Structure 1
């Protein structure tokens, strides 16, 4: 089955709610959102670099005057493709979970900029880095942290509209947040959902991520905007949940059999997900699951994991 085609740019979801979409949803090509009521507005996430964020903000200003002065920005999590444009939303209150705010300082844009400069001397890994991140410009990005943090849940008003911020991490990252607009039966999920692309589990535990999917499925929502990929419905949520359950069960079998995490990643059949992009992320997912199974609290070796993904992508 081919991946869905969808257009880049601002999509009007109706009643002052917008999604900003970036095909094809692969590495760095994230989605964002805008919630408007009267003259008040909330931005859900910025993008991977400053040029992309400027382009998005210009499209939003062209669609509604409320976007000319965005009062509130919510970052769904700490990955750069959802927060490295924060500095361009001047004067806004920036909200994130406390765990996300702490994690944002761990991998600044300057670190990735330096890696990209070194990529030509990094062989296969460098080639892979250039392929997945070469379209982005990480130079000169200033880490712009949240000005307000919360744990578990926070309710925010945008004009007369209520927006619920629900922390469901650690899962994809340490502090993932759902942005739920009950009056419009809409939820922005951040990277709890990758639609038609393999999710990547940097943090875990997997049970938290599965519970996050279950929470979305229990919501009275009909429009679900994922962190990557096309707008979906509850069938898309169920597909991600099914993937997580399958990979977790298969990894456990191989862990119990004494296989290494990379051997397991290469051995797990992904035939049912062959149409999904970025299948090499199985290397990260299995490594995270193995650390969970063993009770290890050691941080992942990011460079090694990208090297494994480069081998699988080849």
Structure 2
């Protein structure tokens, strides 16, 4: 069992890929690091996900400028996590979009999440001195909204709770391509520490109902073609269920968090141990599954102190 907490020992640079997933649609990926998306309209550009720091965001911008010189007018953020939003200032987009629920979580727990993730991801937060502060949206919505990048329509939608309660997806209907954030992952562990296990599989089926031709997931390679899309949806659902069920059996039987950890490892290690950030996610996933099984609907706020206490309990 890995003893390094979260991704504190992961300091190796990742290989960046920039993959076209549809006409004028690109996925910026980096071997299991957080992905970003690029949507090019006939007049302007929308970026999906801002990265953890302006330093990383500028790597996305460099790739964008290889394919278009159109202005970046919109930045869509699928949820509130620090590694997704704190690079926003680099894009200088006049329109920054979140769901109402995601904005509420920035207000409720944004600073705590930043402090917690800073300790978990030392490599991603290199250059953190450039972050001007919490990222706040200029536009919010509940349910659905559409943005027009000239003639190209982009639909932003809440399809259900999953990775967080404020998740959105971004669908480009003329190409039938979807940017899902961390609702869908490919050969990367799902981070479930702020998730909703009971709802997540239903939300995946809501994604599947669009029958997308391609998906840019939250982490991992771009998924082009319906066979790969459906395989990733199935695999993500299997990861979520395989994490929750063993933990729930222990929690509902009066067992300890450490016993839940052992039960989840027995179920998940054979299937997922080679996935990106698997060891990083596992303690948070078990803790959240244990809580949800005991009836705690709203994920408890992670702080740097709570991170340490949880890890010490699991290593005891």
Of 61, 64, 70, the residue aligned with 2:65 is: 61
Q: Aligned residue for 1:276? A: 275
Q: Aligned residue for 1:289? A: 289
The answer to whether residue 134 in structure 2 is matched with residue 134 in structure 1 is no
Of 83, 91, 94, the residue aligned with 1:92 is: 94
Task: Map 1:1-314 to 2 at 5 A.
Answer: 7-23=15-31, 25=32, 29-66=33-70, 69-105=71-107, 106-108=109-111, 112=115, 116=119, 129=120, 132-136=121-125, 137-142=127-132, 143-232=134-223, 233-268=229-264, 269=266, 270=268, 271-280=270-279, 281-296=281-296, 297=298, 299-302=300-303, 303-305=305-307, 308=310
1:83-128 deviation digits (Å, cap 9, x = unpaired)? 1111122242111101111222423399539965xxxxxxxxxxxx
SS for the counterpart of 2:190 is coil
Taking the aligned partners of 1:153 and 1:175, their CA distance within structure 2 comes to 12
Q: Aligned residue for 1:3? A: none
Q: TM-score, normalised by structure 1?
A: 0.83
Q: By how many angstroms is 1:263 displaced?
A: 2.0
Taking the aligned partners of 1:223 and 1:114, their CA distance within structure 2 comes to 30
Q: By how many angstroms is 1:73 displaced?
A: 1.1
Q: By how many angstroms is 1:306 displaced?
A: 5.2
Say whether the 8 Å CA contact 2:45–2:74 is kept in structure 1. yes
Q: By how many angstroms is 1:203 displaced?
A: 2.6
Q: TM-score, normalised by structure 2?
A: 0.82
Q: Pairwise CA RMSD of aligned residues?
A: 2.7
Change (3 A) 1:291 1:195: same
Say whether the 8 Å CA contact 2:44–2:72 is kept in structure 1. yes
